[in-house]
Chain A
Amino acid sequence: MKNNEQPADRKDSPPQSTGQSRSEFSLNRRTFLATASSALGIAAAQMVFPATSATATSVPNDPSRTPGKTSSAYGTRAVFVETQRQFFSTRSLTPLQHLSGIITPSALHFERHHNGVPVIHPLQHRLLVHGLVSQPMIFTVEELKRFPAQSRIAFIECSGNSGKEWKEPNGTTVQETHGLTSTSEWTGVALTTLFQEIGLKPEAQWILAEGSDAAALTRSLPLASILPHALLCYAQNGEPLRPEQGYPLRLLIPGWEGNTCIKWLRRLKLMTHPAMTREETSKYTDLMPDGTARQFTFEMETKSVITSPSGGQQLENPGFIEIRGLAWSGRGRITQVDVSTDGGESWQTAELQEPVLPMCHTRFRFSWKWNGGETILQSRCQDETGDVQPTLTDLIAVRGFNSFYHNNAIQSWKVTKEGQVNNVQI
């Protein structure tokens, strides 16, 4: 972690709640944020402040006595909300610790790209479908939008998420340890619908999907596995896709590693065998201790993490804390989440918050009373196929230290007597 780091520790001054005049006064943002987060009993030791923002905003003392702003063409979030992605040249991380519910705001969906985010004019973009098809076809984005549409809410997780946590605790915050996963409502045309239009030859077994970014990112995907669920998406959370998410067209394969959901999709080629592209040989393959590498490990497995309290946060006082987190599985619905507040000695069942959808982030909650002592918080989930999230020890015992991808281990957050929350491995 080298750039874009937010200040690690901001000491917030107490809010000034008395002695104000009725005229407008300047509300210090740090003061506001400290007040807001104190409602959770958790101070934000790592609040996000864009470098370009003003340090103070003009706020009426009594908003009921001052006419507000008129309407606007495209809304913006409250000026006090400055939650951000942490970004690097080829990726950015979703601030899971600051989000509620299961939907990731489109502007905060994580990014991963292999040579930048392209600028694509929607009227110039084309999808070519060729290879082992009855009739090679070209579609405009507008034509794809005319097909019967489907929507589903699904997570996308980079298979490298938590990849730096294999050998030792690496990230400070949950954004840094788990920020390469996000959930959106995706809308598009089902791949099956498109193939009704085109017709497949019986020998077609694999489909090569290619982006029109500067990496021309390409993956080979087994046709029979993706057909039941794959969507060609043009919309995310009701709007056209964000550029970082593949505008104007991306593939979604719910539950599969993010790189298979090819963005800026321009080509689908039906083939008898995989093309063995760079991304499915030298990258996105999982090196085992015996020197072999697992290939085409598409599904993201059962995984959960406590997002609050989580690394970098500060518990202010002993007492009630609602432990909140996310659980997900690329194989189906989450059926149970257990929380341990004693480093895995005992486990108790957390409440799953509706909606609980297959291949989707699921919000869990657990009421806890912190006694002010040192302890370790963990979550562990199970999905409808019976898969249980493993401990890191279990994972390493089978896969060693060098597979990098697909780390779905239980995350441990240590709470110190002072209330500081730290990333640890036990």
Chain B
Amino acid sequence: MFKSSGTPLIRVGVVSVAILFTMTLPSVAADSEFFATFGLGRPATPTDIHPWDIDISPNGKGLPSGQGTVKEGGMIYTNSCAPCHGPTGIEGPMPTLIGGIGTLNTDQPLKTVGSYWPFATTLFDYIYRAMPFNAPQSLAPQQVYAVVAWILFRNGIIEESTILNAQTLPTITMPNHKGFVGDARPDFSKVRP
């Protein structure tokens, strides 16, 4: 199983569990307890990490440079997004992007970017990684900023003159930003009827 050319395994006694902080450790295969390292894998360089490190946090960490306007976004939307989401983001057939604010506690909730999504950064993250559906990761950062601006403007969340970039996007407060709660389960009696 182990190639002779591989890095030798180093026998150093029981492995430190400090890396796993306070949680209870499951038992790991007995042999592994004697090895601090298996000598497998290689250190990742910034060049390795950068192309894949595309996630954006709610505080804006990870947002690339560049900027976009509502007007630019409208043109990109028409070309790249409207075929699936409809000319104004309402018609579909794919999920409605606009409207629905105030409907979540009704019998007919309409979950859209405007009514449901808690963070504007998520919109950037998702479009940048997964849209357009037929050509994911094909939009440049400034195009994504622009499309995000257009969708947020159409939802009445930002002004038409807003320029979105790594500084302004994380400051946007979405209408439903306080709408999420934790897992409340189990939420039933444990007694068999």
Contact = CB atoms under 8 A, between A and B. Distances in A.
Interface of A: 114-115, 128-130, 134-140, 143-144, 146-150, 190, 192-193, 195-197, 199-200, 202, 208, 210, 214-216, 218, 224, 227-229, 266-267, 269, 271, 273, 275-278, 281-282, 285, 287-299, 301, 338, 347, 380, 382, 386-388, 390-391, 394-395, 398-399, 401-402, 406
Given A138-B43, A228-B23, A282-B122, 6 more contacts: A196-B15, A196-B38, A215-B130, A275-B58, A382-B192, A394-B188
Contact of B185 (A218, A285, A290, A297): A297
Contacts of A391: 193
B41 A275 contact: no
A89 to B, nearest CB: 11
A289 B109 CA distance: 10
Given A193-B29, A275-B125, A282-B117, A137 B43 contact: yes
A26 B192 CA distance: 54
Given A275-B56, A338-B192, A290 B105 contact: yes
Given A146-B1, A148-B28, A202-B21, A282 B116 contact: yes
Nearest to B126: A278
A297 B185 CA distance: 8
B72 to A, nearest CB: 23
A190 B40 contact: no
Interface in B100-144: 104-105, 107, 109, 111, 113, 116-119, 121-122, 125-126, 129-130, 133, 136-137
Interface in B17-50: 19-21, 23-26, 28-29, 31-32, 35-38, 40-44, 48-49
Interface in B60-101: none
A387 B188 CA distance: 8
Sort chain B's interface into a size bin.
35 or more
B105 A291 contact: yes
Given A215-B136, A218-B55, A292-B181, A114 B130 contact: yes
A136 B190 contact: no
Contact of B137 (A150, A216, A278, A386): A216
26 contacts: A129-B44, A130-B53, A135-B43, A137-B41, A138-B41, A147-B40, A148-B29, A192-B26, A196-B38, A199-B19, A200-B20, A216-B130, A227-B20, A228-B24, A229-B26, A269-B55, A276-B57, A282-B117, A291-B104, A291-B109, A295-B183, A301-B186, A338-B192, A388-B191, A390-B188, A402-B107
Contact of B23 (A137, A227, A338): A227
Contact of A143 (B32, B40, B55): B40
A295 B107 contact: no
Nearest to A215: B130
A203 to B, nearest CB: 9
A297 to B, nearest CB: 5
